[in-house]
A and B are shown apart, each in its own frame.
Chain A
């Protein structure tokens, strides 16, 4: 420093972690949500751009995707918010025991979602290389699947970490809280994707 210091603020009593917008990593996660959210919105724009090339959507002779797997996925995904909120509340209350108890449930739900997602890919009634309609339908489902996979891996890592002595470190509570926040992003982005994959091709036949 070029100038001698004059001590004016003592910050030693400040906490070493904080939740929500007071946390640094919260801002990082919001940043990545905005990036990924932008990618989703642009993919939706591409969807409607390609849709404008067709007289009907889904273009004949392709049938719209089968509804069963996608709808079951949607229901399970929405229900997963119940344990997700329980984990988030437990984290906010520093209840590590409850977090440790509930996280394996979210890992299991993720595995169940992968199985249903497999059936979804199988019920699209079009391949990615059939035409532009098939390409964009597959792109939407693939894009969303990458988000389910990344959050599932994140949840597994967090679950294993919370089982260690580090689980009692308050900053790991922040990690748990923010992992739950990201899961909300995963299911929120699914809702428009679900409508675009399964319902718009029915509305415009």
Chain B
């Protein structure tokens, strides 16, 4: 290959005229992917036999050149050799970029800092494949939970929704293989529709600074990537089989990649997962099983100056929701809270019955890219379809019929240009247009989310400037326009109670007996921006500073909720009058990366005006008894916190890790704490690792979750006619602190040069402790999971 390139270069170079030939060509050679300088790259000037090698800063000098066009061949041990044509006019500066991919496959498993940073002035955290495999029988949310500053809002143990610095749902943007996930993320009981076994790498950006993706990520952005193919003729894959004791679950996942030197590749991945009812130390959590079927295909061409990539994934998940959490009224809620045991416990089963969710998510994405000058132009189209069925316990002919049947379709087109304007100025810019349509079928239960169409348009530019080897600055701005066109039935009683008949008289298009059909049409214009700087101390230390302005359009559930959310047995009310949230987040990170002692300390302050939250406000009387009313409202919120990470290497084999985070959230209007803020938590881990002993790894982990002492009192009183008493329904007191221990181990066996078998064994909740988690929505009804033994076998080939 290399000689081939050279031959072409030789043929295309022409003898130069005799002229003034004492100019120099200086320059720098960097990695195309992450911009890191390439030391030891060789440059050969075609036709002259002269060669120079880059120094440790990636720089080179070629002297005695004429004003002419030269062909230069650049090679590096880890890159494909590449030819460039350079016009020399006087002393010339030129930077070259090489594609650093020959060793890419290996690097991913070593550490994987080869992709572009999403934001250069916000610290990023990553979870790479090896770590992800320990979570193969869990969820994406569980894996993210292992990063400091990330917690999760759970509904049982199968619906795990990531929460970043106290923010979740629509405030956390998930980018799945380049496409922004549109999977009805607004609901607190909707987990991301992503198969963790299709993920090769997870990147977390805690803030809205990654403007190329969105301007509304108040909490942060999670970037999910599947594995990249190597550019050589190869066929490789892996199969992983896992089993766990709690829930008697099993999983099989397989991944196969075929790649060619020409740049073409194809990847197939699939997984099957099944588990039955989970258990606490004392009882079975009835109806908490799960069935998952996932599949993904990726086909593409990856060349230096152009390429394409097609990705399709199907995620199908059926999740049982704890039977004891399905309630009829406030009186039932009171009984559930009073009782130490769940109101319904049955024998273990794999069968799922109502209440349950049945979700399928399909994503298709096509991207084509071409290198233009010093930049890369890419055009992307993605289509997503999310089908969500929620089953409640129903009566009569509706038994077995879904209560909620939503179909959300999104089409999006993106045009991005990522370039280096000069050696030290980078620019990312792009435009985005999307169309989204929600269709809610008639299930005999009032629609929780109405039919709507949403049009989005966005434009952004982010630029970074490397002042010198210490300072890097980044600045960016984004503008988004959203138009919503909604068809929504309101109950006449609610429409009038809220004064909507006075404030929104023009949206009514039809009046029925006790309902009105309305067509609200809203426009939102949002601006977001980021400014940041990074100071590199040169030795180990790095300081990141970032300010981000984020704006978020209210989501359909915040605007249009009106009525009983059956599975939650609560009445939820949104508000048509909501405007966009606007957040200002300031973060500073001090990072030390060293062989022995590394740490990062990251304080932040986030002020969000018109912050939308939902909390209990009272009760509503009906013939079924009373229901708690949860109402969305806007306030000014204030978040303060600090995330901390440290790792210390004692010896060749022993290391210690700590990860802690603290966040406090306040409601500035009411001057009280915000509901559902993650309690302070700290994780300590001791790891033994020996590369000479078949990569044996043993880890013991302690997780301490403090009690949340800052919470708003949203308790209310109800009258119980059967006992003729007035009782307090305690829905706000957080559960006690708890301390969990986990054990994890793995070992590798090499079969041949190309195949490897890895065995993993772990125990979570080692001491089988009974506990309840403040951020688990089912904490009123039952304890969390007891001890769980996990076993996995992975075969790489």
Chains A and B are bound partners: no
State the B residues within 8 Å of A (CB): none
